[in-house]
A and B are shown apart, each in its own frame.
Chain A
Amino acid sequence: MKTETDTKAVEINRSIGDFHYQVDYAKDAGSGLSEKTIHYISDVKEDPDWVREFRLRGLKTFLEKPLPTHWASKDLEAIDFDKIRYYLSSGAAAKRSWDEVPEDIKRTFERLGIPEQERKFLAGVEAQFDSEAVYSNIKKAVGEQGVIFVGSTEGLKNHPEIFRRWFGKVIPIADNKFSALNSAVFSGGSFIYVPPGVKVKHPLQAYFRINAENFGQFERTLIIADEGSEVTYMEGCTAPKFNTATLHSAVVELVALKGAKIQYITVQNWSPNVFNLVTKRGLAHENAEVKWIDCNIGSRLTMKYPGVIMKGRKARGEVLSIALANDGQHQDTGAKMIHAADETTSNIISKSISIGTGRSTYRGLVHVPKHLKHCKNNTECDALLINATSRTDTYPAITVRGTGNAVQHEASVSQVSAEQIFYMQQRGLTEAQAMSLSVNGFVNDLVRQFPMEYSVELKRLIELEMEGSVG
């Protein structure tokens, strides 16, 4: 099996995810988007009628809404929606064992180290290859506690009573153009339900892989943590580097019921031709907590502002975000904190690093309406510029009304100075090592709050980026 993976047919770059294999797709919706595409997807997936209708509403809304270029990057205009392929799969259901996953797909995940990580520290794994999950498994002990962890298609079919209740409720179809697009063509993603009081000790992980060129991946994730339960979900993603644009547009909805805690961790390492336009939002009921840890290293353009709606008293929302924009990349990220009950607290810490011609943008929305009492928000956003050509912008939008609510906002922009690099070089570090150490120092206090496995991975990715960026 090993020899298959080592053949020369594979292209390897410095980036770990930059390789792809030829795969035959039994199901292919073709290029372009129309009602026909929707019906093709619904037929293949054997959608219930309500889902088919939901999709058609999504398509209509998507076509009606303009690209948000009045506030966002004009680079969005480079996406040719007619050239994109909206659905590609082998037509087989997700397997419960890696041995059953077809060889040509399995080797991709072997190479990315997913089965190994699963054995080491994960409670469950779902692996998505283009449009569909090819593998989905949960540790027996976790499954026996009543935890459900399946693909979205399986979730809506086998658990309609829970799925339908929350699906599209946190992020409505018309939230934005790309949530509408996702609603039209969604496929894959995870459905998780954690029963009351169950605390899932180890993380559940999903890995999203784009293999095909001119492809759009539109996974849809819905996580429901019932009263007093706790769960951590991690997602990773990679794609090979193609010369054409690839689109990734996910919708992720989290629901934390009374006293529940959800931690959602993303390591986004898409190749630099991917448009990553994602809508993520959590709903926190009374005394519940939703925490997003969001790291964006890859992609051409990322637009993503994870949000928390604090609906119940004493609910908590948190976004810890790290963005690294290298040459040709634009990381347009941030957070949205909507306070909708008394005594709710939110915390946003965002750190961005811009290298070469890289551009990072922070957009933050904090909303506390007039009638609320004793709400708190803390926002810190720091930007680090590596080169004179690097760029950063900050657009905070804070609307806090009423008395007795406290908001704190701090922002800083700093630059790695030539003196600092020289100082480190004088101690024997190469220029790249010095840069990498500076950048790691900059994000250090934030990374310390991340789970161990994740901070190691992140540090390694930053080092890879810095090595490539210094001549």
Chain B
Amino acid sequence: MKELRVENLHATIADKEIVRGLSLSVPRGQVHAVMGPNGSGKSTLAKVLAGHPDYHVTKGSVSMDGENLLELEPDERARRGLFMAFQYPSEIPGVTIANFLRAALQARLPEGEELDAADYYAKLYEKMELLGMDRAFTSRSVNEGFSGGEKKRTEILQLAMIEPKYAVLDETDSGLDIDALKTVAHGVNSLRGPNLGILLITHYQRLLNYVVPDYVHVMVAGRIVRSGRKELALELEERGYDWAREEEGEMALTR
């Protein structure tokens, strides 16, 4: 089956265990949301999936369409089809969005093959229009001096251009006002389809009003404590994370 599959994952940073036995699978074509309070390990999960060098997997497995991801370098994972939209995207001074994306797409072509410049720009402008971005944006340095909303929009633009198999969106909604949130959600929705699996990581329910997930998982203290249909998000909104935490506490007691 085509899916991004995480099984019994344990991960540490500086010897501290943050992800503690997490299992989850996102089939291609579905949108899964992971919700959780601050400190539950949501962002760590995203970084571990992408292969951030500061995090170490101590146990468990991660596979993408059956291939073990954990043995691959971050760039190999990316070229195989994994994309992560960063909560805090880095600035790259002097490198324009157009050049950066061009380099990213070029890196996916077989050696000796050149990206067609005309096709590339046509696609870039089309995707920018979709996200309500001005064309002049392409000549700005990646994320340098961008507002929070511009950064997030740029992440989604990259997602749209790179066309991965799976996308992990790490708190893409944080720091956005309602208009920016709607634009970003519109962008994500337009990318939904049978060829893309999306893992939406968020603290708040509000993004899920605009990007309606197929499944919702509640993450507390490094593992998934509850999974359900989209209604779970609403229940969580109503009852709060304490409710989920209590359940986690009970689970811990019964073990």
- Chain A residues close to B by CB (< 8 Å): 414, 417-420, 422-431, 433-434, 437-438, 440-445
- Chain B residues positioned under 8 Å from A414 (CB to CB): 93
B70 to chain A minimum Cβ distance, whole angstroms, is: 16
CA distance A437 to B100 in the complex (A): 8
Interface locus among B59-67, B71-79, B123-131: B71-79
Q: Are B103 and A426 in contact (CB under 8 A)?
A: no
- Chain B residues positioned under 8 Å from A426 (CB to CB): 50-51, 74-75, 78, 83-84, 86
8 contacting pairs across A/B (C-beta < 8 A): A422-B50, A426-B51, A427-B104, A428-B78, A429-B75, A430-B73, A441-B95, A443-B94
Q: Are A418 and B162 in contact (CB under 8 A)?
A: no
B80 to chain A minimum Cβ distance, whole angstroms, is: 9
Q: Are B107 and A429 in contact (CB under 8 A)?
A: yes
- Secondary structure class of chain B's binding surface, majority of residues: mixed
Q: Which residue of A lies closest to B47 (CB)?
A: A422
- Chain B residues positioned under 8 Å from A420 (CB to CB): 90-92
Q: Which residue of B lies closest to A384 (CB)?
A: B93
Question: CB within 8 A of B92: which of A418, A424, A433?
Answer: A424
Q: Which residue of A lies closest to B93 (CB)?
A: A441
- Chain B residues positioned under 8 Å from A440 (CB to CB): 94-95
A351 to chain B minimum Cβ distance, whole angstroms, is: 10
Interface residues on B, range: 20 to 34
- Chain B residues positioned under 8 Å from A423 (CB to CB): 86, 89-90, 92
Q: Are B91 and A445 in contact (CB under 8 A)?
A: no
Can you list the 7 inter-chain pairs with the closest CB atoms, starting with the nearest? A441-B94, A441-B95, A444-B94, A423-B90, A427-B104, A425-B74, A425-B75
Residue B141 at the A interface, CB < 8 A? Answer: yes
CA distance A277 to B20 in the complex (A): 60
Residue B245 at the A interface, CB < 8 A? Answer: no
Residue B53 at the A interface, CB < 8 A? Answer: yes
Q: Which of A414, A429, A434, A444 has the most CB of B within 10 A?
A: A429
- Chain B residues positioned under 8 Å from A428 (CB to CB): 75, 78-79, 104, 107-108, 162
- Chain A residues positioned under 8 Å from B107 (CB to CB): 427-430, 433
Q: A424-B92, A437-B99, A441-B93 are in contact. List 16 more A-B contacts (CB 8 A).
A: A414-B93, A420-B90, A422-B50, A422-B74, A426-B78, A426-B84, A427-B107, A428-B108, A429-B104, A430-B75, A430-B107, A431-B75, A433-B103, A433-B107, A437-B103, A441-B141
Residue B158 at the A interface, CB < 8 A? Answer: yes
A288 to chain B minimum Cβ distance, whole angstroms, is: 32
B181 to chain A minimum Cβ distance, whole angstroms, is: 23
Decide: A442 near B93, CB < 8 A? Known: A422-B52, A427-B78, A429-B75.
Answer: yes
- Chain B residues positioned under 8 Å from A431 (CB to CB): 73, 75
CA distance A430 to B103 in the complex (A): 11
Q: Which residue of B lies closest to A421 (CB)?
A: B90
Q: Are B90 and A425 in contact (CB under 8 A)?
A: no
- Chain A residues positioned under 8 Å from B91 (CB to CB): 420
CA distance A425 to B95 in the complex (A): 15
CA distance A442 to B95 in the complex (A): 8
User: Among residues 162 to 184 in chain B, which have CB atoms less than 8 Å away from a CB atom of chain A?
Assistant: 162
Q: Are A427 and B158 in contact (CB under 8 A)?
A: yes
Q: Are B94 and A425 in contact (CB under 8 A)?
A: no
- Chain B residues positioned under 8 Å from A430 (CB to CB): 73, 75, 107
- Chain A residues positioned under 8 Å from B75 (CB to CB): 425-426, 428-431, 434
- Chain B residues close to A by CB (< 8 Å): 50-54, 73-75, 78-79, 83-84, 86, 89-95, 99-100, 103-104, 107-108, 141, 158, 162
CA distance A441 to B140 in the complex (A): 12
CA distance A445 to B100 in the complex (A): 16
Q: Which of A422, A430, A438 has the most CB of B within 10 A?
A: A422
Decide: A417 near B92, CB < 8 A? Known: A430-B107, A431-B75.
Answer: no
Q: Which of A425, A426, A434, A440 has the most CB of B within 10 A?
A: A426
- Chain A residues positioned under 8 Å from B54 (CB to CB): 418
- Chain B residues positioned under 8 Å from A434 (CB to CB): 75
CA distance A443 to B83 in the complex (A): 29
CA distance A445 to B141 in the complex (A): 11
- Chain B residues positioned under 8 Å from A425 (CB to CB): 51, 73-75, 78
B160 to chain A minimum Cβ distance, whole angstroms, is: 13
Q: Are A438 and B158 in contact (CB under 8 A)?
A: no
B195 to chain A minimum Cβ distance, whole angstroms, is: 18
A332 to chain B minimum Cβ distance, whole angstroms, is: 24
CA distance A420 to B84 in the complex (A): 14
A107 to chain B minimum Cβ distance, whole angstroms, is: 28
B229 to chain A minimum Cβ distance, whole angstroms, is: 31
CA distance A420 to B144 in the complex (A): 12
- Chain A residues positioned under 8 Å from B50 (CB to CB): 422, 426
B55 to chain A minimum Cβ distance, whole angstroms, is: 11
CA distance A417 to B89 in the complex (A): 12
CA distance A199 to B52 in the complex (A): 56
- Chain A residues positioned under 8 Å from B92 (CB to CB): 420, 423-424, 437-438, 441
- Chain B residues positioned under 8 Å from A445 (CB to CB): 94
Q: Are A419 and B162 in contact (CB under 8 A)?
A: no
B117 to chain A minimum Cβ distance, whole angstroms, is: 16
A156 to chain B minimum Cβ distance, whole angstroms, is: 45
B50 to chain A minimum Cβ distance, whole angstroms, is: 5
B87 to chain A minimum Cβ distance, whole angstroms, is: 12
B114 to chain A minimum Cβ distance, whole angstroms, is: 15
Q: Which of A419, A420, A441, A443 has the most CB of B within 10 A?
A: A441
Q: Which residue of A lies closest to B161 (CB)?
A: A427
